[in-house]
Structure 1
């Protein structure tokens, strides 16, 4: 069961997502500073740099956006040229084109944009020019994967691409078709605006933080949305009914005297989970250090002495650490290179079990990530896509 807790104040919204009683996601959004990820913008090429195989595009922000050549070539690898051309053959200064933001401006770097367009719906992601069908890797049964792929191939046109999302598992063809129809209409509106607008111009902005969460993870059969803002609760109900016709969403408007986040103990949990030193349930602890290049997580046994032997104590601590680390990486929205210094284990099967625990615990994380494995120094290495600035906890 998931519980989405939303606290609203004038000009800002905070969201906490709990799964089976555990705090797994936190996000904050200021209404005047809504993010651009997923947005479509008609931009203008400012300069082209062949040495970097990249171009800088004016999208109406303080810093020009970065467009790499791989994001200009055809989105289907099989349709790309065998020898990569110079970007100067594809783009010229002053040229106007539609781009989509895939990474927010961070620090001194401008946003990153692409021409590999994608529009996420409830059951699928629509890619108007990709030319292929894919199915979420999280759908394990081959029979179901093949069913969804067949539906996708039958529904798409020659140039269109579709990705069937994890939530599409066991969904019927009609619901998927309706989702695709809605996304096609959305794309047509974007293209119509692009023909009439002068660059730079915002053509389409992705959903708000709360709407994205409802679109991506909300299940009306099991999940609950609790909000302390009646007006936004009405909007959320209308959004869910439009997205899930025939369903009755469970939305609770909180009116208690205690502030909503205090009632569910969210603030104190966040303060504990965002510390440099985080205690594990069994008495061990993690030390969390972040630099510009990477995040290093150090695992320590601390007060835990419950194993039958030193190896068993170390193994149990590392298992706990792997599970808790997966939750915290998702909660903190940690991105980039992540190095984990687990406590040294003698037995290879213990190392394999810790890797497996981490992999299973990361399953619910919707952000793209890869567990690369153990280095020669016995460190575990993984990467996680970072698309936004570090999380700020509103006071």
Structure 2
């Protein structure tokens, strides 16, 4: 069973998703915080770098955004030139263009932007200029994939594209068409604004936390939604009434003296899960080190001594870590390149079993995670999509 716990304080809203009482996702929003990833801007090119095939774009943030040439060429591969041109042929200083943030500013780096706009809805992701249809890989029933593809083909206008989200499985034709039309109307509104503003200017920002939770997190699997603020409680009921009237009965108001997060064990779990050193139930532990380029996770036996032999002891710890690591990636929102240094195993069957365990665990993640495989040094390489 999944539970969504929303704790509201005067200057902060926190959301925690529990699966079988274990914390797996965490998100926050400050009242003055503005969502960057997904936001759409009218930007102005301030520098073109042919040696990097990139340009810097002023979108009104503290640091200029980075635009790579692939994000400037047509999104559909059939419309791209066979030989990639120099960026100086298609971009110049002072040029204005509509861009969307794909990666938030991080450290010394500014945001990354693209001209390939995509706007997520409840059942689909709308891409006004993509001219193709993609279907979530998590939809594995051939008949359903074919139904959704045919529905999209019969609904799109020339040049439009969509990605069918996992949640679209079983949804009616009417609901999916309504989702498409709402996104199409939103895109028309964004386009009308571009002629009314002077770059740099924001044209659209992704949804605030509550609507985003309704859109992306709350599904039939979420049986309870708890919150401790009466206004947020009423707002959530209204949002769910529009989305799915049958879900309104799952919303519950919490008014006890004990903190909502304390009541569900979220406070303690957050404290444990965001440390550099993470203890495993058996007595082993993980060390997590993050840099701008990648994240390294080191697996250690710790206090666990096993009971059979060294190979079995190592395998037990590695298998436990393989289940826990995907949960921590979701919870800490770790993205990009991830290297896991499991304890060395001698048996190929054990290495295969550990990779199977971690591959199975990442299927619960809404962000695309790819298990690349073992390197020659015995490290497990994986990537988690940045958004």
**What's the TM-score, normalizing by structure 1?**
0.94
Equivalents in 1 of 2:322, 2:297: separation in Å?
Answer: 10
Q: TM-score, length-normalised on structure 2? A: 0.96
Task: Provide structure 1 residue ranges, at least 5 long, that are not aligned to the other structure.
Answer: 388-395
In structure 2, distance between residues paired with 1:12 and 1:379: 39
Report the CA distance between 1:368 and its aligned residue: 2.9
Provide the residue aligned with 2:126 in structure 1: 126
Alpha-carbon contact 1:220-1:250 (below 8 Å) kept: no
Structure 1 CA distance, aligned partners of 2:179 and 2:330? 28
Structure 1 segments, 4+ long, off by >4 Å, are none
| Contact persistence 1:56–1:66 (CA under 8 A) | yes
Q: Are the counterparts in 2 of residues 240 and 249 from structure 1 also a CA contact under 8 Å?
A: no
Count of aligned pairs between the two proteins: 387
Q: CA-to-partner distance for each residue in 1:270-323, whole Å, 9 max, x for gaps? A: 111112221212222212222333222111222334453322222121111000
- What is the CA distance between 1:121 and its match in structure 2? 0.5
2: distance between equivalents of 1:221 and 1:291? 35
Map of 1:381 onto structure 2: 381
Structure 1 249/148 Cα, relative in aligned 2: closer, same or farther at 3 Å?
Answer: farther
Secondary structure of 1:196 counterpart: coil
Q: Describe the superposition over 1:108-150 as per-residue Cα deviations: whole angstroms up to 9, x where unpaired.
A: 1111111110110100000000000010011112222122111
- Distance in 1 (CA, whole Å) between partners of 2:234 and 2:365 is 28
Q: Whole-Å Cα distance in 1 between the matches of residues 195 and 249 of structure 2?
A: 38
Shift of 1:336: 2.5
Contact 1:220-1:248 within 8 A present in 2 as well: no
Q: Take 1:213 and 1:77, find their aligned partners in 2: how far apart are those partners?
A: 33
The Cα of 1:181 is off from its aligned counterpart by: 0.9
Give the Cα–Cα distance (whole angstroms) in 2 for the partners of residues 74 and 223 of structure 1: 43
1:233 Cα deviation (Å)?
1.9
Match in the other structure for 1:234: 234
Query: How far apart are 1:86 and its partner, in Å?
Result: 1.3
Q: 1:267 aligns to what SS in structure 2?
A: helix
Deviation string, structure 1 residues 217-265 (Cα, Å, up to 9, x no partner)? 2125643211111112222222222233565352112111111111112
Q: How far does residue 205 in structure 1 lie from its aligned partner after superposition?
A: 0.9
Aligned-residue CA RMSD (Å): 1.6
Q: Give the whole-Å Cα distance in 2 for the aligned partners of 1:335 and 1:181.
A: 32
SS in structure 1 of the partner of residue 343 of structure 2: coil
Mean alpha-carbon deviation: is it higher for 355-364 or for 140-149?
A: 140-149
Q: Which residue of 2 aligns with 1:347?
A: 347
Higher alpha-carbon deviation: 240-249 or 25-34: 240-249
CA-CA distance at 1:61 after TM superposition: 0.9
Q: Is the 8 A contact 1:37 1:206 kept in 2?
A: yes
State how far apart, in whole Å, the 1-side matches of 2:145 and 2:170 are.
10
- For residues 183 and 210 of structure 1, the distance between their equivalents in structure 2, rounded to whole angstroms, comes to 19
Could you tell me how far apart the structure 2 residues matched to 1:328 and 1:242 are? 33
Structure 2 unmatched ranges of 5 or more: none
CA distance in 1, matches of 2:139, 2:224: 24
In structure 2, the partner of 1:115 is 115
Give, in whole Å, the separation in 2 of the partners of 1:197 and 1:18: 43
Q: Distance in 2 between the 1:258 and 1:281 partners?
A: 27
Does residue 275 (structure 1) correspond to residue 275 (structure 2)? The answer is yes
